[in-house]
Amino acid sequence: MTTVFKFGGASIKDADAIRQLTPLIEAHQDRPLVVVVSAMGKTTNKLEALLAAARDESRTDEYRQCLDSLQTEHSEAMEALFGDADDSPSERVRALFDELDAQHRKHRQSAYAKHYDQTVCYGELISTTIVAAWLNHQGIATDWHDARELVRTDSCHQAANIDWHTTAETIRERIAQSERVNLTQGFVGGTEEGDATTLGREGSDFSAAIFAHCLDAQEVVIWKDVTGLFNADPRRFDNAVQLERISYAEATELAWHGAKVIHPKTLGPLQEKSIPLIVRSFETPDAAPTIIEAERRFDGDVASCILRENQVWVEVRPRDFSFMDEPRQHDILGRLVEAGMHANLVDSGAMRFVFCLDDKPERLEPLIESLKKDYEVTRQNELTLLTVRHPRQGMLDALSEGRETLAERRNDTTAQRLFRSRECPDTWRLPE
């Protein structure tokens, strides 16, 4: 049965990192293998900056500098890997950069979301071209596949929806019988008309799940720079511990509340076919991983904490002192949907409806202006939302000590509190 590997940007950030892929893939060549790869390092962030410059005719010099810098970074990686070898992919990569440049000229006047997808996808197209060439250079027979042709989606740019029937047929036709390593891009899909689409930021995990679902894979392995999932961000909590086993449902809850290890859409396609998801470290591949599967009996063993920073608290009230009833709540939530925003915390009263949002000005500000036309709106910025799954007695109070709680929500498994960011420490500690 097929195994699906996913390598994120950190695992291929430079030539040394790409070299480390060889033994990991060689060790699993006894089975059909699909490898899903992200853009190198922080390339996607740099492509987003490039896109912003491309859409502003006054920033032509900045655009050219950004493009040249990206091309230099990838050229240096290829030089370190291949030297003067005949099988260096330098010509193909140069052609992809030329295509990227042409896409900016073609789509400068297009809607931002479409322009985004036609250009940002080149991070994955370039990285996979280099990685596929390197694996073949090392004697690992590898086929490169264009995900724009394999993962069929609608034209909802930046958050495309999968045409599962067509995608499954295409993936099975092109990959299922192959005995070679099949390498493709994460995060990327394509429409029937040939336009590139993306599946949402950090969507490469979801891509791995799509391929696994369509191929009835045995397992998905996500290779990261950590040994697995932790009950809190180890960079912010100095005593975070690894979760050994959790269920699809628990992993989905953690992702929904802001844990940044697994993309929220990843678990559904795997759960449907009972395909386990394994999170391993590419730096210490023999270390015990985290296993995500159907079994739920371990979910409450360890409390988990999630921080969401750069939050905005929005309170909406009717202007005529009428009730904040179902029609008004429906209207407000509908505007959130139209703005493409997710409420991280929601509360309501007789004459108020409040929610906590990520501070994304390009979406938040139009939403606020829309609400102000019909409601009284107040807001607070620079907030931090703490979410605790399966909190122990007194745990939330201990984590809140010394900070004013601006809002709170809780149920039988989850508790949330909102604080001013300036009152929060750089490093937190979980109560013993």
Q: What single string gives the DSSP state of each residue in 224-277?
A: ESSSS-BSS-TTTBTT--B--EEEHHHHHHHHHTT-SSS-TTSHHHHHHTT--E
Q: Which of 191 and 176 is assigned the larger pLDDT?
A: 191
Q: Is the pLDDT of residue 313 over 80?
A: yes
Grade residue 321 by pLDDT with cuts at 50, 70 and 90. confident
The amino acid at 6: K
Grade residue 239 by pLDDT with cuts at 50, 70 and 90. very high
Q: Which of 93-97, 169-173, 175-179, 311-315 bottoms out in mean pLDDT, i.e. has the lowest? A: 175-179
Q: Tell me: the pLDDT tens digits for 324-383? A: 999 999 999 999 999 989 999 999 999 999 999 999 998 999 999 999 999 999 999 999
Position 29 scores a pLDDT of 83
Q: Collapse the DSSP code of 96 into the 3-class scheme (helix H, G, I; strand E, B; otherwise coil) and give the result.
A: helix
Mean pLDDT of 56-73: 95
Grade residue 288 by pLDDT with cuts at 50, 70 and 90. very high
Residue with tokens 């909190």: 391
Q: In 277-343, where does DSSP find H-type helix?
A: 326-339
Position 386 scores a pLDDT of 97
Instruction: Look over the chain and give the mean of its residue pLDDT values, rounded to a whole number.
Output: 94
Position 264 scores a pLDDT of 75
Mean pLDDT of 180-208: 94
Grade residue 182 by pLDDT with cuts at 50, 70 and 90. very high
State what percent of residues in the chain have pLDDT above 90: 89
Grade residue 265 by pLDDT with cuts at 50, 70 and 90. confident
Mean pLDDT of 111-117: 95
Position 1 scores a pLDDT of 87
Note the pTM of the prediction, 2 decimals. 0.88
Position 203 scores a pLDDT of 87
Q: Which of 191, 74, 54, 192 is nearest to 134 (CA)?
A: 74
Q: Which of 260, 299, 305 is nearest to 395 (CA)?
A: 305
Position 340 scores a pLDDT of 87
Q: Which of 122-126, 253-257, 384-388, 417-421 bottoms out in mean pLDDT, i.e. has the lowest? A: 253-257
Mean pLDDT of 284-302: 93
Residue with tokens 């036309």: 373
Residues 82, 90: Cα–Cα separation, whole Å? 9
Q: Which of 81, 126, 82 is nearest to 101 (CA)?
A: 126
Query: Which stretch of DSSP H or E encloses residue 321?
Result: none
Grade residue 130 by pLDDT with cuts at 50, 70 and 90. very high
Residues 194, 201: Cα–Cα separation, whole Å? 21
Q: Is the pLDDT of residue 199 over 80?
A: yes
Position 267 scores a pLDDT of 92
Grade residue 101 by pLDDT with cuts at 50, 70 and 90. very high
Mean pLDDT of 414-432: 94
Q: Is the pLDDT of residue 51 over 90?
A: yes
Phi, psi of 40 (to 5 degrees): -70, 130
Position 353 scores a pLDDT of 94
Mean pLDDT of 148-166: 97
Position 116 scores a pLDDT of 96
Euclidean distance between the first and the last CA atom of the chain, given in angstroms as a whole number: 43
